[in-house]
A and B are shown apart, each in its own frame.
Chain A
Amino acid sequence: MQDRIKYWKGIEELNNTPEFAKNAHNEFPEFLPLDEAKGEGSSSNGKTQRRDFLKLLGFSMAAVSLASCEAPVRKAIPYLNKPVDVEPGVANWYASTYYLNGDYNSILVKTREGRPIKIEPNPSSSVTPYGTSSRAQASVLGVYDNNRLRFPLIKGKEAKWEDIDKQIASRLSAVNGKVAFVSSTIISPSTKQLIEEFGSRFGNFEHVTYDVNSSSALLAANGGVVPGYDFSKANIIVSIGADFLGTWGAPIPFAKQYIQNRKIDADNPTMSRHYQFETILSMTGANADIRVPIKPSEEAAVVTAMYNAIAGGSAASTNVGDAKALAAAIKDLQANKGKALVVSGSNDPGVQAMVTAINSALGAEGTTIDSASPYFTKQGNDAQMIRLINEMNAGSVGAVFFYNTNPVYDHPLADKVVSGLQKVGLKVSFADRVDETASLAEFVTPDHHYLESWNDFEPKRGFLSIAQPVISPIFTTRQMQDSLLKWSGNNTNFYEYIRNNWRKVATGDFNKFWEKAVHDGVLENGSSMLKVSAPTTAATTTVRTVKPTGVEAVLYEKVSIGSGAEANNPWLQELPDPVSKATWGNYIAMPIKMAEEMGVTQGDVIAISLANGKTIELPALIQPGQANGTVGIAMGYGREIESAPVAKGLGANAFPVAAVVDNGISYSSSVQLKKTDATSPIAQTQTHHTIMDRLVVQENTLANYKSNPKEVTEYIRIATHEGPAKPAAISLWDDYEYKNHHWGMVIDLNSCIGCGACTVSCNVENNIPVVGKAEVLNRREMHWMRIDRYYSAVEHEAKDYATMENPAENPSVIFQPMLCQHCNHAPCETVCPVAATMHSSEGINQMAYNRCVGTRYCANNCPYKVRRFNWFAYANNDKFNFNEPMNNDLGKMVLNPDVTVRARGVMEKCSFCVQRVQLGKLEAKRENRRPKDGEIVTACAQSCPTEAIIFGDMKDSESRISKILARQNGERAFHVLEELNVQPNVTYLTKIRNLA
Chain B
Amino acid sequence: MISCILKTKSKVFFAFLFALVVSFGAIAQEQASEQAEVATKGVEPGATQGATTDATPAGDPAVIDAGEALFKNNCVVCHSAGSDVIVGPGLQGITQKRNEAWLIKWIKNSQALISAGDKDAIAVYNEYNKQAMPSFAFSDDEIKSILAYVESGKGVVSAPVAGPEGATAGENVGTDAIGAVGGYLDIILVVLIVVLIVLVVTLLLITSLLKNYLNKNRKLDEYDSEIVNQRFDFSKIYKSKAVRTLVVLIFVVVLLDLTIDKVMGIGIQQGYAPKQPIAFSHKLHAGEHQINCNYCHSTVYESKSASIPSANICMNCHSQIKTESPEIQKIYRAIERNRPIEWVRIHNLPDLSYFNHSQHTQVGGVECQTCHGPIEEMDVVYQYSPLTMGWCIDCHRETPLNTEGNEYYDNLVELHESTSKGAFTVSSNGGTECSKCHY
Contact = CB atoms under 8 A, between A and B. Distances in A.
A898 interface: yes
Contacts of A538: none
A846 B345 CA distance: 30
Contact of B435 (A81, A87, A911, A928): A911
Contacts of B269: 71
The B contact surface, by secondary structure, is loop
B412 A739 contact: yes
A915 to B, nearest CB: 5
Contacts of A16: none
B310 A78 contact: yes
A683 to B, nearest CB: 29
A65 to B, nearest CB: 9
Contacts of B406: 925, 928
Nearest to B430: A841
A842 B408 CA distance: 15
A79 B340 contact: yes
B267 A68 contact: yes
A51 interface: no
Nearest to B312: A81
Contact of B356 (A842, A901, A914, A922): A922
Interface in A889-943: 898-901, 911, 914-915, 918, 921-922, 924-926, 928-930
Interface in B262-284: 266-267, 269, 272, 274
Given A73-B274, A80-B334, A840-B433, A849 B438 contact: yes
Interface in A371-387: none
A87 B267 contact: no
B351 A900 contact: yes
B407 A77 contact: no
Interface in A62-80: 68, 71, 73-80
Contact of B307 (A88, A841, A898): A88
Interface stretch (B148-156, B246-254, B296-304): B296-304
Interface in A829-879: 838, 840-842, 844, 846-851
A601 interface: no
Contact of B310 (A71, A79, A850, A901): A79
A850 B435 contact: no
Contacts of A842: 430
B435 A71 contact: no
Contact of B430 (A90, A840, A929): A840
A847 B358 CA distance: 24
A370 B274 CA distance: 69
A929 B303 CA distance: 18
Contacts of A88: 299, 303, 305, 307
A77 B343 contact: yes
Given A739-B412, A844-B435, A900-B351, A89 B267 contact: no
A82 interface: yes
A740 B403 CA distance: 14
Nearest to B337: A80
B408 A90 contact: no
Interface in B331-345: 334-335, 338-345
Contacts of B134: 84
A78 B435 contact: no
Contact of A914 (B272, B412, B435): B435
B439 A914 contact: yes
Contacts of A75: 342-345
Contacts of A849: 352, 438
A74 B435 CA distance: 26
Contacts of B227: none
Contacts of B313: 82
The interface centre, meaning the residue of B309, B313, B439 with most chain A CB atoms within 10 A of its CB, is B439
B412 to A, nearest CB: 6
B429 to A, nearest CB: 7
B338 A80 contact: yes
Interface string B290-323: 0000000011001111011111110000000000
B372 to A, nearest CB: 14
B363 A926 contact: yes
A911 B434 CA distance: 12
Contacts of B356: 922
Given A80-B339, A89-B305, A915 B299 contact: no
A846 B358 contact: no
Contacts of B429: 740, 841
Nearest to A73: B344
A924 B406 CA distance: 10
Nearest to A837: B434
B359 interface: yes
Given A68-B266, A740-B430, A850-B438, A89 B307 contact: yes
B431 to A, nearest CB: 9
Contact of B439 (A77, A899, A924): A899
Nearest to B353: A850
B115 interface: no
Nearest to B341: A78
B292 to A, nearest CB: 17
A87 B416 CA distance: 36
Interface string B344-364: 110010011010101100110
A79 B339 CA distance: 9
A848 B389 CA distance: 13
Given A68-B266, A926-B358, A928-B406, A90 B299 contact: yes
A345 B408 CA distance: 53
A739 B338 CA distance: 53
A349 B339 CA distance: 62
Given A78-B307, A82-B312, A740-B430, A915 B354 contact: yes
A81 B311 contact: yes
B117 interface: no
Given A82-B313, A841-B430, A930 B307 contact: no
B436 interface: yes
Nearest to B415: A739
A74 B348 contact: yes
B357 to A, nearest CB: 8
B342 A77 contact: yes
Contacts of A901: 351
Nearest to B410: A930
A918 B416 CA distance: 21
Contacts of A915: 354, 439
B340 A71 contact: no
A918 B363 CA distance: 13
Contacts of B412: 739-740
A901 B439 CA distance: 9
A851 B435 CA distance: 12
Contact of A78 (B340, B430, B434, B439): B340
B312 A930 contact: no
Interface string A262-273: 000000000000
B174 interface: no
B310 A82 contact: yes
A848 B408 CA distance: 27
Interface of B: 134, 266-267, 269, 272, 274, 298-299, 302-305, 307-313, 334-335, 338-345, 348, 351-352, 354, 356, 358-359, 362-363, 405-408, 412, 415-416, 429-430, 433-436, 438-439
Interface of A: 68, 71, 73-82, 84, 87-90, 739-740, 838, 840-842, 844, 846-851, 898-901, 911, 914-915, 918, 921-922, 924-926, 928-930
The 5 closest A-B pairs by CB, nearest first: A89-B303, A841-B430, A846-B435, A82-B310, A79-B310
Given A82-B313, A851-B434, 13 more contacts: A74-B345, A74-B348, A75-B342, A77-B341, A78-B311, A80-B312, A846-B434, A846-B438, A898-B439, A901-B351, A918-B439, A926-B363, A930-B407
28 contacts: A68-B266, A68-B267, A71-B272, A73-B345, A74-B345, A75-B343, A78-B343, A79-B310, A79-B312, A79-B340, A80-B335, A80-B339, A80-B341, A81-B335, A87-B298, A87-B299, A88-B303, A739-B412, A840-B435, A840-B436, A844-B435, A846-B433, A898-B354, A922-B356, A925-B359, A925-B406, A926-B362, A928-B407
